[in-house]
């Protein structure tokens, strides 16, 4: 039986990867010490999701409550198991939190990734290493695009070279990344180099907004899940800057993990892909509020903070053409409306 290692295995993407690969005949080994609770508080804890994995998958899932910064503990796991695939989804994922403690942010995102890469290189170099990076590696460069303010969103002019989405040609230099963006750039480049320099099979997936019902949404991370939670429970939702017209593309966790699966079938060395909802699934905050209010038949309680989050994107839509060219059998299975309906029905509130 083939074996997959998943870091952040109780989180949104990690748990989706565990379930997906187990369904495809893999034994799953997970690493998750619920750092999300440390970052964002009790409501963001992923213990509930870890429990679901253990109860539903039984002996097909082995869990380690280990910190990815603990080099000795990580090495012991690699010595104990032989891995065919590694999905690295553990991270400190928030702009705002990173500024409060840059050292923890960097050591988790960069040093933790280095620990995993070194053990991958030493103990299972034949495996496929998949890294969940972020569109924040592009910093605030997308804000330099000639955006047009419309009634409910910002948009690019029709015919602009990035109108269908931002592709991997966009530079990551000479812009503001946020502390979080900088730590993810470091990890992103490390994964590329272990592929290109050591000729290992590594793939970097620069996600847009990753979403789905398994998301433990909180104010500082988890846009759609947290917005739906607030409207469903009558909690006040604060919109930071840009009049609520900032645009995000949203990719369902299943569709992203399905990208991982296709990559593993024909892996490349040090490849980079933008991975978001593209024009298939994107929305502004104002548009999302209107759609969720209609689904839940409840009015949102909104508060506006005119201060823009430093380094935040005004408009970001991913162009996934490169991945589709390399893996033409992959398809989106979720559009925005299907995503919203599923979270409203099955989300963790």
Q: How far is CA 225 from the centre of its chain?
A: 13
Helical H runs in 297-335? 321-326
In the chain, what is the straight-line distance between the N-terminal and C-terminal CA atoms, in Å? 36
pTM of the model: 0.97
* pLDDT for 218 beyond 80: yes
Residue range(s) defining the domain that contains residue 44: 3-346
Arithmetic mean of pLDDT, 214-241: 91
Enter the DSSP assignment of 95: H
Beta bridge partners of 149: 154
Question: Percentage of the chain surpassing pLDDT 90?
Answer: 93
Per-residue pLDDT of 27-73, as tens digits, reads 999 999 999 999 999 989 999 999 999 999 999 999 999 999 999 99
Per-residue pLDDT of 122-179, as tens digits, reads 999 999 999 999 999 999 999 999 999 999 999 999 999 999 999 999 999 999 999 9
| Structural domains of the chain, count | 1
Per-residue pLDDT of 241-263, as tens digits, reads 999 999 999 999 999 999 999 99
Please report, for the domain that includes residue 71, its CATH number.
3.40.50.720
Those residues with Cβ within 8 angstroms of residue 216's Cβ, 6 or more apart along the chain or in another chain: 11, 12, 36, 43, 44, 45, 46, 48, 49, 222, 225, 348
Task: Output the pLDDT for position 117.
Answer: 98
Question: Percentage of the chain surpassing pLDDT 70?
Answer: 100
Per-residue pLDDT of 297-340, as tens digits, reads 999 999 999 998 887 899 999 999 999 999 999 999 999 999 99
Those residues with Cβ within 8 angstroms of residue 103's Cβ, 6 or more apart along the chain or in another chain: none
């Amino acid at each position: 039986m083939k074996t997959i290692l998943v870091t952040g295995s109780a989180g949104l993407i990690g748990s989706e990867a565990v379930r997906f690969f187990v369904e495809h005949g893999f034994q799953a080994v997970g690493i998750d010490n619920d750092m999300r609770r440390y970052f964002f508080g009790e409501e963001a804890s992923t213990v509930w999701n870890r429990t679901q994995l253990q109860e539903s998958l039984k002996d097909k899932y082995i869990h380690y409550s280990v910190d990815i910064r603990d080099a000795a503990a990580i090495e012991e796991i690699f010595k104990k198991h032989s891995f065919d695939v590694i999905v690295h989804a553990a991270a400190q994922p928030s702009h705002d939190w990173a500024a409060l403690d840059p050292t923890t942010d960097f050591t988790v995102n960069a040093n933790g990734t280095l620990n995993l890469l070194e053990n991958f290189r030493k103990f299972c170099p034949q495996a496929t290493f998949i890294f969940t990076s972020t569109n924040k590696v592009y910093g605030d460069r997308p804000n330099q695009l000639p955006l047009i303010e419309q009634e409910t969103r910002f948009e690019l002019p029709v015919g602009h070279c990035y109108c269908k989405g931002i592709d991997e040609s966009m530079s990551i230099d000479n812009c503001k990344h946020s502390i979080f963006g900088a730590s993810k750039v470091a990890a992103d480049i490390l994964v590329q180099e272990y592929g290109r320099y050591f000729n290992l099979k590594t793939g970097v997936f620069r996600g847009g907004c990753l979403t789905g019902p398994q998301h433990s949404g909180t104010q500082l991370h988890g846009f759609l899940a947290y917005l739906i939670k607030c409207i469903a429970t009558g909690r006040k939702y604060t919109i930071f800057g840009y009049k609520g017209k900032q645009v995000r593309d949203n990719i369902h966790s299943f569709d992203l993990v399905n990208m991982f699966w296709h990559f593993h079938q024909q892996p490349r060395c040090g490849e980079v892909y933008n991975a978001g909802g593209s024009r298939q699934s994107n929305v502004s905050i104002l548009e999302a509020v209107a759609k969720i209010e209609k689904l839940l038949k409840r009015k949102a309680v909104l508060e506006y903070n005119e201060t823009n989050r430093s380094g935040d994107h005004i408009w970001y839509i991913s162009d996934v053409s490169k991945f589709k060219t390399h893996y033409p059998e992959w398809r989106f299975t979720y559009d925005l409306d299907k995503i919203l309906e599923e979270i409203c029905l099955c989300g963790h509130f």
